[in-house]
Structure 1
Amino acid sequence: MTTWDGFQAFATTPVAVLPPPGGPPRSLEERLAYHSRFVTVRTPAIDALAKNVRMLMILGRHQAVTARPSLIVTGPAGAGKTTALLQVGRACHLAHARRHGPAAAAGQAPVAYVLVPPAAGAKTLATEFARYLGIPVAAGMSQAQITNAVCHTYTSARVQLVMIDEVYRLNPRTTTGAQSADLIKDLTERIGTTFVYAGIDVTTTPLFTGVRGAQLAGRASLIDCTAFPTRLGDEEPFRDLITAMEGALDLRHHRPGTLPKLAPYLHERTAGRIGSLARLIRQAAITALIDGTERITKTTLAAIRLDHLAEQHHRPHTRPRSRSTNTS
């Protein structure tokens, strides 16, 4: 996904969809592949991000003097930040193709997706931006030369949206982190595009500290991609999420309504994180296909080992009680 060809393939590959009622039954292999990919449920975070990105792209379309306003998607691990980011990027790519047509869009790259490498210096990060569009980087090139090439090529390719993931890895308190933050600031001022950042619990990291952090905080709106609560006023967002996922299952003997009834148990298993929930339901569906039961039950769910974060929440480690010793 961190190259233009890879992102273009992702954006243009048809999404997984449940077959229409009355259609020919799919083979076991087809259904295994379907549940491996599975559907992406439209969440409030995706809706909020899409709405805000569209608004900021319009807002900054003719802004040429200073950097355009940006967005930061934050939240705990497994809350669906990257999924939301990529879905909005896909929508932007497809909208651009519809507006301009394949011929007019040739040579253009409306969306860029870059990962911040661990402890990356400015030159390493600039090279990641170059790698996305296949810009040649010779061994002897300086950071300034790479940055100039990136700005020129991104402008020529008419990049409209730059998505920078794992931004929590930037630490402006360190020398390399400060240089990387300065590079991003430079890019936002030289490339006429909208920047969206995503990272784990960004507001608790050093990213917003100091002068550089204040500049970023003064330009970026925040979207909090939190875990799903069991209840929000009169609504039950977690149960609604489960219902949507259950409705996308392609299992012949599964009883509709089974999973929503298990909402309290599923919330306990996953702490309300959409990433853990999606993995649990996908693995349960694949298990049901392989063992031939074709349905998901609480027994099926209980037998599945989830990611370590979810397992720690569900089965918190308790220190064994120390035995008393007789010192008499």
Structure 2
Amino acid sequence: MLEALKTAASSCTTRGEPTIEEVRRRAQWLLQGPVSSGELAFPSRSSFHRLYTEAAASGLLNGRDRWPGRHVVVEAVRIPHPSSLPQGLQVVFAVDTDTAVVLTAVVCEDAGPVDGRVLVARMCVPADLRAEWPSRAAPAQCAIPLVRPMTLVCGWGVGDRGLAEACRRHGIQLLRPRTVAPSERPHGERLVSQAAHSFKEYLVTATARGAPADGWSTATVQELLDRWAAEVWNHTAPPPSAAGPRYGRASGSPAQRYDTLVARIGWVATPLPPQDFLDLLVTRSRTVGPAGLFLDRRRYDGSVLNGLRSHKSAPGGNRSRFEIRTDPYHAAHVWLRDPSGQWLTVSAATASGPLRMSPTSAFERVEARDTKATPSPLRTRQLSSRTAEGAPTPVRYEPAQSPAPEDSDRVRATYHAQLPIEPPVLMAAIDRIEQQIMLNEHAPATRYGLLLHGPPGIGKTTVLDKVAQRHSARMARRPNGPPVPVVYVRLPPATTPRMLLNELAWAVEFPPRARAALTDLARHVCGAITAAGTGLVLVDECHYLQAAPGTTARLQEVVDYLCDRIPATFVFASIPPQLGDTGRQLWPERTQRRLVQVALTPTPPGSSWEATVARAEQALRLHRHAPGTLVQMADHLHHLTGGRTDHLAYLLRSGAIRAIYDGSEALTRDALDILAVSFSLSRP
């Protein structure tokens, strides 16, 4: 039966992905002999559907109709640039849909199309071969798996000049998005979107800390992009969601999925021949002088040019012009053809080299808890699950480590602007929410949600962020984790029940039908979130919920319906329920019986407050700050802030940045008093 199922799934000739019923009819036709003779009992419709689903999830239907390079999507995505460029940067990704491997990615400042021929060259030759290709033999294992595209789907942002001819010469089928089967298109677009989001997160981590000092040049961002593709996405990124029911849920990193498919099909791709690789690059001509050759305001020089300096085409004539091949998106090397026809690799003499990643940097020493120092921005989408889960470390009264000399003031100021402040009350709230999630996963009866409430600025969003990161990381470690483990929505003012339902639907990428009735919309949201496997739904700023004018929809009824129908834990963050008319309307007594209240309050003076101050002082990176100074001022800091950790965070972060730029390099009582008085942070 299983062999017939696999044969039927691979032999269906319908356009795009076949339905389960089409596979079932094909399997019935294949097994009509054994079934009619009584040797085999064909399963019922529901049993066949279950068998198909299990086989697809186990990877048994991923036959030889899938291989690396079968379908490669090339799309341009505009990402916000960390510097002052108003339009950001355009990044072009080439992603294999079967393995999720990023073949190549390039950065360009202008809005013009990228050179399609160069993209083909970068895809067909690994990055670690390009530097001295063709003089170096291929290594046994490349940093990025080599994927030769067989079908290339080019979206906007890729130029047509020479691309069609290059694809024809190398046996690549070139398609445009409008000609792609509807079953393939959403998966490729989703992969590119996930890759762009992952790279944007990578740009703001401590790993990329050398880029701001370099001015965020395009060359610097391109180097970071190459490193991200080789070290982060292809080898450590969690797998994207599957393409469809036939493919099942992918497991492992893109590199592991590549190894699995290669082992299944029994062959691997090889790089382009050297001459074919160079023919795809941009052709230029330059003379070689005593200082080397100059190209695009860069100087290239090396010992390989010693015999060509001031070379003349004829005695007494002008200097000879040599043919140059260059990759405009990798300026570290160019290739020069000498008079004998041999290609020489010439390195940039003025290249800045790799970004500074000193292991002795203060940022490297705290990189293990970088997710605490740099919370990822919350979105109404699936939250990143690459954050490692871990309980808060115990407080140790150790002196602050001195920053490394090479860390600039700007880099240290950026770090102190994100100084981690973790009071025990927030960690206790996180533990309480995680315990409720575990209880709801295995509870046989009613599931309870949570109402996280406290005054504005107390840390409700921080708690939701931490819970989302840790839950996503926990789900990512499961073999068949859900594609959308966490849904987070942040409500704007005057949010109606319909707006809440729409936000939840868009969060799992299942947009609702336009002008749907409220009842249909609620059913749609319940089905979408359940299908996505979401186990945690976070609703922030829910005190903005209110009934639409002229309607009789009761907010608590919508909340009750969602909590009853969706097998997930709901966490609502709000101001205290008794504050304001909206709070009384949203959280009546009946609804509060379904929500376990978790209150966030200011930290009282004592050992808990001193531990919070000590942990923050330990994270400081100031040259002349005396260890233990803030711990001695713990009572005074409590008087200034009223025990509010957001006020404490503001005082320490702004005080540290001011100490860096005025040269004092220490936090003093007078400086903190001035900041507290200026912004009215003293206790009322």
Shorter-chain TM range is 0.7 to 0.9
Q: Deviations over 1:170-213 (max 9, x none)?
A: 45798769533322211111110011111122244557758962
Higher strand share: 2
Note if contact 2:402-2:622 (Cα within 8 Å) is conserved in structure 1: no
Shift of the alpha carbon at 1:273?
0.6
Instruction: Say whether residues 1:256 and 2:644 are aligned partners.
Output: no
Instruction: Say whether residues 1:131 and 2:519 are aligned partners.
Output: no
RMSD: 3.3
Aligned counterpart for 2:415 among listed residues 34, 42, 46: 34
Instruction: Say whether residues 1:60 and 2:440 are aligned partners.
Output: yes
Instruction: Say whether residues 1:79 and 2:458 are aligned partners.
Output: yes
Secondary structure of 2:598's aligned partner = strand
Distance 2:626 2:579 in 1: 43
Distance 1:126 1:171 in 2: 13
Quick one: structure 1 residues 21 and 284, their matched pair in 2 at CA, closer, same or farther if it must change by over 3 Å?
closer
Note if contact 2:453-2:575 (Cα within 8 Å) is conserved in structure 1: yes
Quick one: structure 1 residues 176 and 65, their matched pair in 2 at CA, closer, same or farther if it must change by over 3 Å?
farther
Secondary structure of 1:246's aligned partner = helix
Distance 1:119 1:285 in 2: 38
Note if contact 1:112-1:159 (Cα within 8 Å) is conserved in structure 2: yes
Identify the residue that residue 646 of structure 2 maps to in structure 1.
Answer: 275
Q: Deviations over 1:4-34 (max 9, x none)?
A: 15x328x64999x9xx968854332221221
Quick one: structure 1 residues 89 and 249, their matched pair in 2 at CA, closer, same or farther if it must change by over 3 Å?
same
Identify the residue that residue 431 of structure 2 maps to in structure 1.
Answer: 51
Shift of the alpha carbon at 1:156?
1.2
- Count of aligned pairs: 299
Note if contact 2:651-2:675 (Cα within 8 Å) is conserved in structure 1: yes
Secondary structure of 1:187's aligned partner = helix
Secondary structure of 2:622's aligned partner = coil
Quick one: structure 1 residues 248 and 144, their matched pair in 2 at CA, closer, same or farther if it must change by over 3 Å?
same
Instruction: Say whether residues 1:98 and 2:477 are aligned partners.
Output: yes
Quick one: structure 1 residues 141 and 28, their matched pair in 2 at CA, closer, same or farther if it must change by over 3 Å?
same
Secondary structure of 2:441's aligned partner = coil
Identify the residue that residue 324 of structure 1 maps to in structure 2.
Answer: none
Note if contact 2:421-2:612 (Cα within 8 Å) is conserved in structure 1: no
Note if contact 2:380-2:490 (Cα within 8 Å) is conserved in structure 1: no
Identify the residue that residue 302 of structure 1 maps to in structure 2.
Answer: 673
* Alignment-mate amino acid for residue 384 of structure 2: Q
Identify the residue that residue 659 of structure 2 maps to in structure 1.
Answer: 288
Give percent identity, aligned residues only: 30
Identify the residue that residue 608 of structure 2 maps to in structure 1.
Answer: 237
Answer with 1 or 2: which has the greater Rg. 2
Shift of the alpha carbon at 1:305?
5.8
Shift of the alpha carbon at 1:55?
2.5
Written as runs of structure 1 = structure 2, the 5 A alignment for 1:2-21 is: 2-5=379-382, 7-8=383-384, 12=387
Secondary structure of 1:304's aligned partner = helix
Q: TM-score, normalised by structure 1?
A: 0.79
* Alignment-mate amino acid for residue 521 of structure 2: I
* Alignment-mate amino acid for residue 86 of structure 1: D
Shift of the alpha carbon at 1:93?
1.0
Note if contact 1:75-1:224 (Cα within 8 Å) is conserved in structure 2: yes
Shift of the alpha carbon at 1:117?
2.7
Secondary structure of 1:71's aligned partner = strand
Note if contact 1:129-1:150 (Cα within 8 Å) is conserved in structure 2: yes
Q: TM-score, normalised by structure 2?
A: 0.40
Distance 2:552 2:457 in 1: 25
Shift of the alpha carbon at 1:92?
0.8
Distance 2:443 2:552 in 1: 28
Greater Cα shift, 28-37 or 210-219: 210-219
Shift of the alpha carbon at 1:62?
4.3
Shift of the alpha carbon at 1:217?
1.5
Identify the residue that residue 323 of structure 1 maps to in structure 2.
Answer: none
Secondary structure of 1:279's aligned partner = helix
Note if contact 1:117-1:125 (Cα within 8 Å) is conserved in structure 2: no
Quick one: structure 1 residues 177 and 131, their matched pair in 2 at CA, closer, same or farther if it must change by over 3 Å?
farther
Secondary structure of 1:221's aligned partner = strand
Gaps of 5+ in 2: 1-377, 394-399
Quick one: structure 1 residues 287 and 149, their matched pair in 2 at CA, closer, same or farther if it must change by over 3 Å?
same
Q: Deviations over 1:254-296 (max 9, x none)?
A: 1111112222332222111111110110011111111122111
Aligned counterpart for 1:228 among listed residues 580, 583, 603: 603
Distance 1:245 1:14 in 2: 21
Aligned counterpart for 1:188 among listed residues 553, 563, 572: 563
Aligned counterpart for 2:528 among listed residues 148, 153, 171: 153
Distance 2:568 2:521 in 1: 18
Distance 1:182 1:313 in 2: 42
Secondary structure of 2:571's aligned partner = strand
Shift of the alpha carbon at 1:242?
1.1
Identify the residue that residue 275 of structure 2 maps to in structure 1.
Answer: none
Shift of the alpha carbon at 1:245?
0.7
Shift of the alpha carbon at 1:244?
1.1
Identify the residue that residue 167 of structure 1 maps to in structure 2.
Answer: 542
Greater relative contact order (Cα 8 A, min sep 6): structure 1 or 2? 1
Shift of the alpha carbon at 1:57?
2.1
Quick one: structure 1 residues 2 and 214, their matched pair in 2 at CA, closer, same or farther if it must change by over 3 Å?
same
Note if contact 2:496-2:547 (Cα within 8 Å) is conserved in structure 1: no
Instruction: Say whether residues 1:108 and 2:497 are aligned partners.
Output: no
Identify the residue that residue 320 of structure 1 maps to in structure 2.
Answer: none
Secondary structure of 1:72's aligned partner = strand
Note if contact 2:454-2:599 (Cα within 8 Å) is conserved in structure 1: yes
Distance 1:229 1:295 in 2: 26
Q: Deviations over 1:116-140 (max 9, x none)?
A: 3322211111112123223324543
Higher helix share: 1
Quick one: structure 1 residues 163 and 175, their matched pair in 2 at CA, closer, same or farther if it must change by over 3 Å?
farther
Secondary structure of 2:384's aligned partner = helix
Note if contact 1:172-1:213 (Cα within 8 Å) is conserved in structure 2: no
Quick one: structure 1 residues 227 and 149, their matched pair in 2 at CA, closer, same or farther if it must change by over 3 Å?
same
Gaps of 5+ in 1: 317-328
Note if contact 2:388-2:473 (Cα within 8 Å) is conserved in structure 1: no
